[in-house]
């Protein structure tokens, strides 16, 4: 990691805000991807327990 140097408090606040927005967007995209492309019912403990015999 590189150290971050800011000139003043306002620049630091802007940096924190921008970073927060970027992370929030990434999490939102990941959540939407998971909801659309993964079948969470198949990831449950009971599903694996009941279907392990098929493997």
Q: Cα–chain-centroid distance for residue 16?
A: 18
State the pLDDT at residue 48.
Answer: 65
More confident residue, 7 or 55: 7
Closest C-alpha to 18, from 32, 30, 4: 4
Please write the tens of the pLDDT for every residue from 4-52: 889 999 999 999 999 999 999 999 989 888 887 776 666 666 666 776 6
State the pLDDT at residue 47.
Answer: 65
Nearest-angstrom CA–CA distance, 9 and 42 = 48
pTM: 0.56
């Amino acid at each position: 990691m590189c150290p971050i140097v800011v000139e003043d408090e306002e620049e630091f606040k802007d940096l924190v805000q921008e970073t927060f927005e970027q992370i929030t967007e990434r999490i939102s995209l990941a959540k939407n991807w998971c909801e659309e492309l993964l079948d969470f019912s198949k990831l449950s403990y009971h599903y694996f327990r009941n279907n392990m015999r098929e493997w």
